[in-house]
Amino acid sequence: MTKGFLAYLLTMALVTYLVRAVPFCLFRRKVTNRFFKSFLCYIPYTVLAAMTFPAVFYVTANPIPAIGGTVAALLLAYRGKGLVTVSLAACSVALAANLLLYYFGG
C-alpha cells in the first residue's frame, strides 16, 4: 500500500461524509416546500439515468445493437411493462442484433 492510496482513501471518505452530513446540518426542520420536496424525490432517478443512459451506447463495439436494445426498452417501458420484462427484452434485442451483425454484417 502506498502513501498516495491512503491519502486518496481519506479524501474519498471525507467527501462522502460531507455530502451526507451537510444536508442534516443545513435542514433542521421538516421540508414543507412542495417544489423542493418534489425536487428531492426525483433526484435519485435523475442521477441514475444520467449515469446509466450514456453507458448503454458503449457496451458493445458497434452502437447499432445498443440502439436496438434501447429502442426496445423504451417501447416496452412506454407500454407499461415491468422492469424485468423491459430489461430482458432490451438485452435480448441487443444480443440478437449483435449476433446478426457478427455473422451476417461483418
What are the pLDDT digits (tens) for 60-81?
888 999 999 999 999 999 999 9
What are the pLDDT digits (tens) for 13-63?
998 888 888 877 887 788 788 998 888 888 888 888 888 888 888 878 889
Residue with cell 436496438: 68
Q: Report how many helices (DSSP H) and strands (DSSP E) the chain contains, helices first.
A: 4, 0
pTM above 0.75, yes or no: no
Pick the closest to residue 4 from 12, 87, 20 (CA basis). 12
- How far is it, in rounded angstroms, from Cα 98 to Cα 61? 9
